[in-house]
Structure 1
Amino acid sequence: MPSAPPDTDDPIDFRVHVVAESIRLFAEQGYESTTVEQIAAAAGISRRTFFRQFGAKEDVIFADHESLLELVAAHLSDGPEADPYESVCTAAELVFLHFRDSRMMAVRRLRIVQGVPALRDRELVTTYRYQRLFEDHLRARLPEESPAQLIGYAAAITSAHNYLLRAMIRGDENATLEHLRDELRQLRRTFTRREVDAGADAVSVITHPAGMSPEEIGHRVVEQLRAQRRDRGQ
C-alpha cells in the first residue's frame, strides 16, 4: 500500500522514508524484480521526484547515507576550537545512532545487499566516503601531524565503528553506543599518545591479508587493544 512521505522538511526523514519503502519492496519482490515506478508509488512520490532526488534504483538503497554524510561534514566543520580527534569520534557516533534508531531497516538492507554483488561494491564505496571525510578533516586541522598517522587514525576509527555497527545490526547486545565510545576512546589514546610510559608495551602495527574486509580489520584492531589493556592490568 502506498504511504505518504513524512510531513517534514528534514531531508534525512524524507530519504529514510523512501529508502525504507524501497527496501521493503526489494525484500518482498526481489531487487531485480522491483521497478522505479513501484518504489515511487509505494513512497507516495512521483516518478519525476524519484529521479530528481535519487537518480536510479541502485542509488536509492543507500540514499539516507547522502544526508548522513552531509550531517557528518557539518558536524566536523563546527567549532575550530574543537579537538579534531574527538570530533571524528563523535561524528562516528552520529552514524551509529542513526542506524541504531532505524535498526530493522538496516537489517533488511544488509540481507538485500549481501545477495547483490553490485550493491556490496556500492556499500564499500559508501563506507570509504565516511573515512575520507575523517581524513580530510584531520589533515586540514592538523597540518603539522604525519599524514600517515592521521590516515591510520581515520581508518582505525572507521573500521572499529563498522565492526560494532554490523554487530549491532545482527543483534549483538554488547554492540552498544557505550561500547563504541569506549573503543573509540581507546583508539584516540593510542594514536594521540606522544610518549610511552616506562614498562608499557609499544603500540603494535596490525597487518592483515589483502582482501580482508573493513569489519574484519576493525575486529583485529579492537582485539589488539583489548589485549594491550589486559597486559597492562587496565
Structure 2
Amino acid sequence: MVNESSRERLIAAAFALFEEQGYEQTTVDDIAARAGVGRTTFFRAFGSKDDVIFPHHESLVLAVRDRLNAAAPDAGVPAIVEGARLVLTHYLDEGDLARARYRLTRTVPALRAREIGGMQQYQRLFREFIVSRGTELFRAELLANAVVTAHNYVLRRWLRELSTDPLAEFDRAMADVLRLFSGSPEGASAVVILRTDQDLDAVLPSIRIALE
C-alpha cells in the first residue's frame, strides 16, 4: 500500500511531465524519478501510466453509488441530480488538475476513450437507479443520458474557462432536465428543490430563471 503523500507526488509529477514533454514521451520511470520514488512504488499506486490521469475515478464512482444507495425509497430524479453534482464538485475541487486532464484528453485518443467510458459508468448507475424506482427502461435511459449530457455541458464550459459560476449553471441545467421529464402540462411551473451550500440571495436568481 502506498501512502497518500507518495501517491499525490506521483500525480503531480505525472501531470507536470505531461505538460512539459508530452504524454507519449513521458515514461513511468520519468514520473517515478520526478516524484522521488522507485518504479515499484509507482506500480503499487497505479496499474499503468493511464491510471495517473484518472487517479480518483474509481473512488468517485463508489461515492456516487453510495449516494444513490442511501437515497430514500421514494427518491427519484433528484437523487441522480445529487449524484451528478457530486461528480461536478469533485472536478471543481481538482481545479488546475482537471483542466490539465482536459487538455490531455483532447489530444490523446486513448485517454479520450477512457474518459467517455468513465462517463458511461455514471450513466449506467443513474439508469439502473431510476429503473429500480419503477421507471421503464427506455425512459430511464433517456433521463440518465440527459443528466450526464447536462453535467458534461456545464463541466466543459468551466474547463474552457467560460463559466464563472458552474454550480449555478448546473442547477439551471438540471432544472431544465427535470422540467423535460416532469410530465407537467405545457405552461405549468415546477419547483425543484436541490441541496446547496450557497446563500439564499445567491440561489434566488437561479430559481427565478428556472421558473421562467
Change (3 A) 1:52 1:101: same
TM-score normalized with structure 1 length? 0.72
Q: For structure 1, which runs of at least 5 residues remain unmatched after alignment?
A: 8-13, 201-229
RMSD: 2.7
What SS does the aligned partner of 2:142 have? Answer: helix
Q: Give the one of 109, 113, 126 matched to 2:118.
A: 126
1:159 aligns with 2:149: yes
Q: After TM superposition, give the deviation of residue 34 of structure 1 in Å.
A: 1.0
Q: Give the one of 52, 58, 68 matched to 1:66.
A: 58
Q: Is the 8 A contact 1:19 1:62 kept in 2?
A: no
Q: After TM superposition, give the deviation of residue 180 of structure 1 in Å.
A: 0.3
User: Letter of the aligned partner of 1:145 in structure 2?
Assistant: T
- Distance in 1 (CA, whole Å) between partners of 2:179 and 2:37 is 48
TM-score normalized with structure 2 length? 0.79
Q: How does 1:77-88 map to 2 (within 5 A)?
A: 77-81=69-73, 83-88=75-80
In the alignment, which residue of structure 2 is the partner of 1:39?
31
User: Letter of the aligned partner of 2:16 in structure 1?
Assistant: R
Q: Give the one of 117, 140, 143 matched to 1:150.
A: 140
Change (3 A) 1:79 1:112: closer
Q: Give the number of aligned pairs.
A: 192
User: Letter of the aligned partner of 2:28 in structure 1?
Assistant: V
Q: Is the 8 A contact 1:164 1:180 kept in 2?
A: yes
Q: After TM superposition, give the deviation of residue 16 of structure 1 in Å.
A: 5.9
User: Letter of the aligned partner of 1:173 in structure 2?
Assistant: S
Q: After TM superposition, give the deviation of residue 72 of structure 1 in Å.
A: 1.0
Q: Is the 8 A contact 1:21 1:42 kept in 2?
A: yes
Q: Give the one of 162, 182, 188 matched to 1:192.
A: 182
Q: For structure 2, which runs of at least 5 residues remain unmatched after alignment?
A: 189-208
Using the aligned pairs only, state the percent identity. Answer: 36
List structure 1 segments (4+ residues) > 4 angstroms apart after TM superposition: 4-7, 14-17
- Distance in 1 (CA, whole Å) between partners of 2:8 and 2:157 is 21
